Each structure stands twice: as structure tokens, then as C-alpha cells.
Structure 1
Amino acid sequence: MSGKKVANEQALQQVMGKFATAMKNTGEAKPPVEPSNTVHKVELPDTKPVVAEQQPATTPAIEVNPLAETPKPALEAKPTPAKTSATHGKKATPAATAEPNKDKPSSTQPLKPAPNKTKPAETVVDENSDLLLVDLELLYDNPYNARSFYDPEVIKDKAASISASKQIVPIKAIPHPQIDGAYIMIDGHYRKRAIQFLNQTQARVIVDRTPMTDAQMYIQSFVTNNERTPQTTYDNAVAWSKLLEQGVFSSYDDLANAIHISKGNISKTLSALKLPTSCLEIIKEDPAKFSLRSLYELNKYHEQSEDEAFILELVKMLFDSEVSIDISQFIERHAKKQDRKPRSSSRKHTLSLGNNQVGYMKDWGTGRLTLEVEFQGDDREKFIKHMSSFINVK
């Protein structure tokens, strides 16, 4: 910096100092503010006059350049650039701008629907199924359920599982066709009984709203059980007999085609129902202990020998045993021990309706008759009505 320029600045400071002292002595706090276009002339010793232009707005900006021939225009204040986002380069919202109150609705913000406080405890599974929480008193057993007998120990085990982990697998049901708000179970009869054992009043139920026929109600129950714990032979015998009697399936062939089981197995299974009532009462208590082969052998020997006491003894032995037993060996040994009297034989008579064979009848010559018939359509009702004319048919 040149000495002359330093001298000019010192002279300017002296002038400004005198001016401030003069203002203080007169008691004025501020110098008079003149219009923004006023030009002040400041006389500096040994210098040329310098013109200072007061800037509009706040504190006047004075630029002094004693060396210049003509005064330079005052520098304009550059606007402060707006802050930008580090990532998107957008202008930041000024701090003075208040954000709208999010707690209060505005005319420019659409109202959100209020939460549904009455939403039921259910989940939509698909278009035809709902997952519901249903009172047990509104859950009815499937009238065509594949299982007829329930093991108390299995019920207790399922109850313990539900108590520990809650009901994970829902019961499957369809709307009751006659009772509004009620349902018929297709699968889950053991689960319902386990929940009842726990003295609970509700169960998780998945409702299939697809219409079902009586046959479909049975088939779904049968298939579902077979995929997990198949029903017993005696369960099948009771269910199949009911289905045939009520005309849900018109014949053995119709039933066999529906559940993909041979007609021979259906015939053997149904033969278990011909055992004496005393034997059936024991079998009902634990049907799982009686296989298809055992029941068929028991009935076969019963038809041949009419030895009900021995058949009952075999049934009790199977019931008490914890292991599988081949009863054919016991039957063979028992037959050898019998008096060498000839076994009673039977005469078989074929039964026909018109040109169609409907069954057969065995005459044992001792007053015992065995009748097995199969009708289709209205012929079954006619036969029952005819039999009821001289025999009490229940």
C-alpha cells in the first residue's frame, strides 16, 4: 500500500472521528438519514473529492477511492445462494416457512379413513374361504364324517398341544344349510373335542363357502383323514353302511369309484358289521386294534361255526393285546380241538328282482338265515317296506 493512500485513510478516520464527537455533544443518537439518492461530498486534505453514494436499505455503504479520476459505482450486494440438497440439488425449504400441522386436516389434504375398530378376528384366505373365530355351539359334526369313533387318549394329547401352542391348524367347515350362522365341520372333529376338553368356547375355523353335496362332504373327510391319521376299518364300515343306506352312493361300485378302493375291500369291510352285538360293543371302544384282516377272519369263522362264545373270546384277546395278533392261527387250533362233529353247512340261494340279481340268502338248516342284498333307486325303499310288513325293521 502506498504512503499517499495510507495518509488518505488516516485523514478519513480523523474526519469521521470529529463527526462522531460532534454528534455526541449535541445529544443526537443517530446521524440524520437522508433520501437514498443523496450524494455526500467529503473534503479531504490534499486529495480530490470523493463521491460516496448511500445504498438503499440498512447501513449506507461508502466507497472511497482518492486516486480515481471519477468515482466508481457502489458495489451491489450479491444475494446469498440458497442452500441445496446434497443429493438432489433442490432448494431447501426456508427456515421461516412453517410446516402444515399434520395432526389437523386441511383443505388440500384428503382425510384418511378412520381405523375400523369393529374389525372381526378373521383373515380372508381366498374368494371362497374365510378364517373365523366361531363358538363351539355353532360347530356341528359332519353327518357323513369318515370317522365315527374317537380315542380319549388322542383327545387328551391334542388338548395338551393346543394348551401349549394354541390352535395352529384351523377346523375346516362349510355353512350350515339350515341354521343361519352355524357351520358343519368337514375336518377337525378331534380338534373340536380337544378344545371342549380344555373348557374353551371358541375355535379357529376356515369356512369353505363352495357348495358341497353329501357325497363330497364324505369324500373330503375321508381323503383328509387318510392324509394324516386314517380312520379305522370299523369307522369305514359304519360310514359306508350309512352312505349306502341313505342313498348317498347308489351301490358298492359307486362308492368304490368315489374313494378309489376296490369293491372287494368294501365288501370285506362291511362284513365286520355282521359280527355279534357283544363283539361290536367291545370293538367300538378301541377300533384301532382291529385290522381289516382280523375283522374279516372273525366274521368268516362266525358264519361257519356260529360259535359266538369263541368269537367273543378272540375279540377280547385282540382288545387286550398291545401287539398285533394273527388270529387265523387261533381259529385253526380251536377248530381242531372241537368235537369231530361236522360243521354246519349252508345252502346258498340267489335273489333276483326281475332279471337283475340283487343278492343271496344262506340257509344253514338250523333256523339261521343270512341275507345279503343290494338295491338301487326306489327298490331299496320298497324292499324295506315289504320286510316291515312282517318283521320289525328299525
Structure 2
Amino acid sequence: MKPSQFAKGFQARPDITSSEKRTALDRLNAIDGLVQEKSQTRSTLNQPSPPEVTTPGVDAAAEIPIENESAEYRAWRVEHGYRPGQVIELPLKAIKPSPFNPRHFYLKSSIAELAVNLAKQGQQQAIHVIPDYGNPGNYFVSDGGRRVRALKEANKETVKAIVIDLPIGIESYKLGYDLNVQRDSQTVFDNAVVWRRFLDESHFQSQKELAEHLGLDESTVAVALSIAKLPEVVMQEMVARTDRFGSNMAYQVGRYHTARGTDATLRLINRILSDDLSTRQVADIVKGRANTQESPKPAGRQRYAQRLEIKLDGASVGDLKSYGDDRLELRLKGLSKERRDDILRQIEQILQAK
């Protein structure tokens, strides 16, 4: 079945039952629970506990029917001798994005950082894929798009994957959306682009219908759709700093863009970051209550001009801020005594260098 045919079933149903409302997340957690249980069993036997990676083949157990599985998935399982929850190696070239991926934006810096980690440590967590039944040998990513991109950047040829039983459509989208929300990796900018596309492609007839199907307030969808009017170059600038640009701030930036255009909006974004403007201050600028050239800084408090987040081993440990032309402020936390002392020695050497 082609992706476009799957998409035809992506219509909201007002008579959906309470059991159908349960997210596919329950099913995915059950699969991951089986994999985790196997790892724990190996640990009790003092054996290594990475995911068991196999190549599908003839397996009598795979022919045993599974309750509530789709006919397409069962046929695929039997053909490949696959057991649900089994971790297998698949060629990266056979993996492709899902047309219902909840993510749209992937930061290059984040992908590059993960690629370095994967090159050193290998893939520790399997991705989840859905067979493309219309194109045998190909798979849609259900969860793990960032890992796939990083593996490609690390010049890997295969990926560890668990094949799950989901249709490409609302169920696979909702699964990915729920997972991303749990991880805090789903942004209002992803929602803006994807939800706008859902409406443009008539998967939903109105923002009200979309909101009802996702179990969200209509106002939440309305704000995201207003942000979707922004050019992608503007959204990209805010995606890089989602700690500063939540839905309310992005909404105000969208209003400013409507009145002033792209170039002025990009300058406003830079000023929001450099002057640490609040959402209310930006709203005042949008309404014309504050001059866009003024600096609404609290009296007696100097704002930093630039801020660099510092990461060690992939984890944020602090930041480096610059003030004016002659002041730097370094703040680090969570360091071991040895690493702290080593950093102090390096800073001292830099300052003493001629």
C-alpha cells in the first residue's frame, strides 16, 4: 500500500471508542518491556546486556498468530521469520522518513554531536520502524529519525531496529508525538509546520477537528497555525533556542513579522536573545508601546551580549557569557574535582600566555 493510500485513512472519527483512544504508546512500551526483560535476564547471569541483534530467518515461533496484529504485519512477520520485539540489523539505505513524522526540524549541531557519540560508542538504543508493504525491503521510521540522520553522518551502513505493527497515519503520528512530548523534544515549530500540512492536504477539515483528534485545546492548535505563517528561516532561528522561544514568544514574533517583515523580525530575535527580553516586553514592541531601538533593561542590571552553552560529554554543565567589551563570566557546575582543577589550570595558562 502506498503512503498516499495510507493517508486516506487519516481522517478523524467522532465515534472513536475509549479503547481506540488509547495511544499506540502502550503497545510500544510492551515491546520495549520485552527487550528490557531480556537484557535484565542476561545481567543476572553476569553476561553482556546489549540488545540482541539478529538477522530474520526461518523461525517457527514467528508463525504463531499474535492477538490484534494486522494482516499485513502478520504476512511480513511470517515471510521474514520475525518475532515482535526482536532487534534486527537493517541497511540504512532501506530506511526512509515517515510522511507522518511529528518532527520537522533537526538541528545540525545536535545531529553532529550524536554522530560523534555513535561513532565512539555505537548505537545503544534500537529505532522503531514500520514496513512499507507497497515497497518490499523498505521501512518508514516511526521513532528514531535523529538517530538515523546521525548514523548516516557517521558513515554507518546499518541500523538496529525493532519492527512494529502500526499503519502509516494518525496512529503512527500520535505515537511519535507522544514519545517526543515525553522527551521534551517536540517543539511548537514542528507542530506548526506539520499541522499546517495536515490541513492543506485535507487530512482534517478544520483546526477544531484536528484539535479534537489530538486531544488538544483548539487555542493550542490555533497558536501553532499562526506561527506556521512564518518563513522557515525565521523559525530556524528560534528552534535553536527553544528555551527562549516557547509558543507565547513565538506567537508575538509572528505578529511582529506580519507588521514588519523578515529582516526586521530576524533583528528582533537577536535582540530578544542579547537583551533577554520577556514575552511581555516583546508584546509591547509589537503593539508599539516600546521603541524597537530602546533597551528596556532593569535598572542596575547589566545584560550579557553573548551566551555560549558549555557541554562536556554531551551534557550541559554551564555557560560562558560576555558583557560589553571587557567582561567574561564563566559558570560551571556538576564537575568532578579533577576536571574542575584541570580547567582552572588551562584557564591560568591561557591568561599567562603572551
Amino acid at match of 2:137: G
Q: Which deviates more, 163-172 or 287-296?
A: 287-296
**Does the 8 Å contact 2:211/2:218 carry over to 1?**
yes
| 1:152 aligned onto 2:108 | yes
In the TM superposition, residue 131 of structure 1 has moved relative to its aligned partner by 2.1
**Does the 8 Å contact 2:131/2:138 carry over to 1?**
yes
Look at both structures and tell me which one has the larger radius of gyration over its CA atoms: 1
**Alpha carbons of structure 1 residues 289 and 220: separation in structure 2 relative to 1, 3 Å:** same
**CA-based RMSD:** 3.2
- Residues 82-121 of structure 1 aligned to structure 2 (within 5 Å): 120=55
What's the CA shift string for 1:129-156, capped at 9, x where partnerless? 4421011100001111111111122213
**Does the 8 Å contact 2:239/2:245 carry over to 1?**
no
Partner SS state of residue 274, structure 1: coil
| Distance in 1 between residues matched to 2:181 and 2:155, nearest whole Å | 29
**Does the 8 Å contact 1:232/1:288 carry over to 2?**
no
Partner SS state of residue 141, structure 2: strand
In the TM superposition, residue 332 of structure 1 has moved relative to its aligned partner by 2.0
**Does the 8 Å contact 1:234/1:287 carry over to 2?**
no
Number of the residue aligned with 1:176: 132
| Distance in 2 between residues matched to 1:246 and 1:312, nearest whole Å | 30
In the TM superposition, residue 245 of structure 1 has moved relative to its aligned partner by 1.8
**Alpha carbons of structure 1 residues 195 and 128: separation in structure 2 relative to 1, 3 Å:** same
What's the CA shift string for 1:4-56, capped at 9, x where partnerless? xxxxxxxxxxxxxxxxxxxxxxxxxxxxxxxxxxxxxxxxxxxxxxxxxxxxx
**Alpha carbons of structure 1 residues 156 and 289: separation in structure 2 relative to 1, 3 Å:** farther
TM-score, normalized by length of structure 2?
0.53
Number of the residue aligned with 1:207: 163
Q: 1:311 aligns with which of 235, 248, 265?
A: 265
- Residues 53-64 of structure 1 aligned to structure 2 (within 5 Å): none
Partner SS state of residue 228, structure 2: helix
Partner SS state of residue 267, structure 1: helix
| Distance in 2 between residues matched to 1:254 and 1:314, nearest whole Å | 34
| 1:250 aligned onto 2:205 | yes
In the TM superposition, residue 289 of structure 1 has moved relative to its aligned partner by 4.9
Number of the residue aligned with 2:144: 188
| Distance in 2 between residues matched to 1:197 and 1:131, nearest whole Å | 22
**Does the 8 Å contact 2:230/2:257 carry over to 1?**
yes
Q: 2:281 aligns with which of 324, 329, 332?
A: 329
**Alpha carbons of structure 1 residues 315 and 168: separation in structure 2 relative to 1, 3 Å:** same
- Which runs of 5 or more structure 2 residues have no equivalent in the other structure? 1-53, 67-82, 292-354
What's the CA shift string for 1:322-364, capped at 9, x where partnerless? x9631431452572466xxxxxxxxxxxxxxxxxxxxxxxxxx
- Residues 123-134 of structure 1 aligned to structure 2 (within 5 Å): 127-134=83-90
| 1:260 aligned onto 2:215 | yes
In the TM superposition, residue 286 of structure 1 has moved relative to its aligned partner by 5.9
| 1:163 aligned onto 2:119 | yes
What's the CA shift string for 1:300-325, capped at 9, x where partnerless? 3445x45665433212334x54x963
**Alpha carbons of structure 1 residues 177 and 121: separation in structure 2 relative to 1, 3 Å:** closer
In the TM superposition, residue 173 of structure 1 has moved relative to its aligned partner by 0.5
Amino acid at match of 1:243: F
| Count of residue pairs brought into register by the alignment | 217
**Does the 8 Å contact 2:100/2:168 carry over to 1?**
no
| Distance in 1 between residues matched to 2:243 and 2:98, nearest whole Å | 21
- Residues 57-72 of structure 1 aligned to structure 2 (within 5 Å): none
Number of the residue aligned with 1:44: none
Q: Sequence identity of aligned pairs in percent? A: 23
| Distance in 2 between residues matched to 1:144 and 1:130, nearest whole Å | 24
| Distance in 1 between residues matched to 2:127 and 2:171, nearest whole Å | 17
